[in-house]
Amino acid sequence: MRPEILFPLFAPVETISGVGPKVAQNLAKLGASRIVDLLFMVPNSIIDRRARPGVANAVSNSIATFEVEVEDHIPAPRKGLPYKVRTREAGGWLTLTWFHARPDWLLSQLPIGETRIVSGNVERFAGELQMLHPDYILPLNKADEMPTLEPVYPMTAGLASKTLLKAISESLKRAPALAEWNSKSLMIERKWPSWNAAIVQLHNPQMALKAGDRDPIRTRLAYDELLSKQLALALVRNKRMSLGGFSQKSTGKLIEKVIHNAPFTPTNDQIKVYGEIAEDMQLPEQMSRLLQGDVGSGKTFVAALACAHALEAGRQSAIMAPTEILARQHGKSLNSLLAPAGITVEVLTGRDKSAKRKDILQRLKSGEIDVICGTHALFQETVEYQKLGLVIIDEQHRIGVSNRLQLLAKGLRPDLLVMTATPIPRTLTLAAFGDMELSQIREKPTGR
C-alpha cells in the first residue's frame, strides 16, 4: 500500500555512503535502521556558534567562536597532563587544551604563525581564557564549513557525531518533494513550510529556540505525525469492521455464578462496563475496547466476567501481561473468581518448561483450558488454541502493537479488550487509541 515516491525513505541506512555494518549497528541503537528514521531524528538541542565576543569579553562556560593566530605549542610535560596551544587575537590570549592529544595531528591543524577559526566552550582559569577540546578548528578559507547553528542529536557509544551528521545530510538528499495534504488555508494561517522544506530546516535550523517558543517547523511535522496516525487508525478500524467478527452470545448463567461467588459486591461501574463489553461481544463485529481504571478499581473482575461470557459462547480467552509476575498475579486472581463457576484458568510463561509446558499446550489445544494468562509465550508458534474468542491485553503501553496482533492471529477474529491503569485524558485517549471504544471505571470498591 506504500506509494512508490516513498520507497527511497524506507531503504536501510547501509545504502548511505560511509555507513557500514558497524555504524548501522550503532544507528540502530538510536532507533534509526532506515532513511526515514534519520529524517525524523529530532535534534534535542541547538548549539549557537554565532557569538564572537573576542577574548576580552568572552563569558565563562559559554560557546564562542574566535579568529586567532597560533603562537606556540606546549606539549604535556608528563603523562596525565594536558597538551596546550597558545593563540592570540586583538583582545588577548586564548589557550587551547587537549588531554590524550596527538601532537602530530595538532601541529598539522594548528601550524605556528597561521590564523585559524576555533569554536567551542570557553572558561576562565587562573585569569586566562581557555578552550578545552575545541569543537572546530578551520582555516579561514573553510570557515563556512562550520554551522553557526548546530543541531545536537541523541548519541550512543561508538558513534561519532560527525558520522551521524553526515548520514543525516545524505538522507536529506533522498527526501522527496511530496504533494501537500494540508489545506492551503491552514498552511497560510500557521505559516508552515512544505513537508520537504520542514524536514530540511529541522536539521539545518535558522534560529535558536528559547524555552516556550513554538517552532513552526516542528509544529508542522508534529501535526503531520498526528494526522497520519489518525488516518491510519481510521483505515484499520474500517478494515476491521469490513472483516466482521463472530457474535458471542451469553445466557448469563456463568456470569451470575461469578458475581454470586465473588468475595465482594461488584460496583455499579463494574457492572455497567461489563454491560458495554457484553453488548460489543454479541455484535457480529470484532470488538476493540479500551478499559481504563485506577489500580484497585476492579478491572480484573470485569475481565473475569468477559471471560465467562466468551466461554458461554463456546470460546476461550487469553490474557497477556507484560511481565511474568503480573501474568501469575492475574492467573491467581482470575482462578479465585472463576473456579467457583467451574471455569479452568492456567498460566503460561517462558519459564514453563518440558512436561508442564507440554501438558498446558495439549489442554489448551483440546479446549480443556478456558482461560490462559501469560506473557509473550501466549503467541509463540507452538501455542495452539481450540477456539480463541477473546484477547485481553493488560498495560497496553508496555506491550507492542505487533505482539498484540500476533496474539489476535491465534484465533479467528477474536474480540479485543485492552486494560490500562494509566490515567489518559479523553482527547489523548482518542488520539492514541482512535480505533477503540472507551470504557471507564471511576467508582472505587468499598474500602479502597
Nearest 10 degrees: CA dihedral of 309, 311, 316, 321? Answer: 40
Alpha-helix residue ranges (DSSP H) falling in 85-208: 103-109, 161-172, 184-190, 195-203
Alpha-helix residue ranges (DSSP H) falling in 11-78: 21-29, 35-39
**Mapping DSSP to helix (H, G, I), strand (E, B) and coil, where does residue 135 land?**
coil
Instruction: Round to the nearest angstrom and report the end-to-end CA distance of the chain.
Output: 50
pLDDT tens track for 144-158: 989 899 899 999 989
The radius of gyration computed from the CA coordinates of the chain, to the nearest angstrom, equals 31
Does residue 332 have a pLDDT over 70? yes
Beta bridge partners of 116: 68, 139
- H or E stretch including 268? helix 268-281
**Mapping DSSP to helix (H, G, I), strand (E, B) and coil, where does residue 282 land?**
coil
Does residue 30 have a pLDDT over 70? yes
Residue 111 identity: P
- The model carries a pTM of 0.63
pLDDT tens track for 402-419: 787 888 889 988 999 999
Considering only CA atoms, which of 367, 298, 292, 300 is closest in space to residue 333? 300
Does residue 227 have a pLDDT over 70? yes
Phi, psi of 243, deg, nearest 5:
-75, -25
What's the fold here for domain 253-441?
A: Rossmann fold (3.40.50)
Q: What percent of the chain clears pLDDT 90, i.e. is strictly above it?
A: 66
Give per-residue burial for 305-322: e unless 16+ CB within 10 Å, then b: bbbbbbbbbebbbbbbbb
73 band by pLDDT with thresholds 50, 70 and 90: very high
Least confident residue range of 90-99, 119-128, 416-425? 416-425
Q: How many CB atoms lie within 10 A of CB 414?
A: 27
Strands (E), 18-109: 45-48, 62-74, 83-89, 92-98
The superfamily in CATH containing domain 53-145 is Nucleic acid-binding proteins (2.40.50.140)
| Over residues 291-310, mean pLDDT | 93
Return the domain boundaries, the chain. 4-47+149-172, 53-145, 184-231, 253-441
Q: What percent of the chain clears pLDDT 70, i.e. is strictly above it?
A: 94
For residue 388, give Cα distances in angstroms to 63, 283, 308, 417, 436. 62, 17, 13, 13, 20
Which are the contacts of 197, defined by CB distance < 8 A and separation ≥ 6? none
pLDDT at 335: 96
Beta bridge partners of 139: 116
Q: Which residue has the cell 588577548?
A: 92
Distance of CA 378 to the CA centre of its chain: 24
pLDDT tens track for 354-402: 888 999 999 999 999 999 999 999 999 999 999 999 999 987 656 666 7
Does residue 233 have a pLDDT over 90? no
The crossing angle, in degrees rounded to 10, of helices 161-172 and 21-29 is 90
The crossing angle, in degrees rounded to 10, of helices 268-281 and 299-312 is 30
295 band by pLDDT with thresholds 50, 70 and 90: confident
Alpha-helix residue ranges (DSSP H) falling in 94-215: 103-109, 161-172, 184-190, 195-203
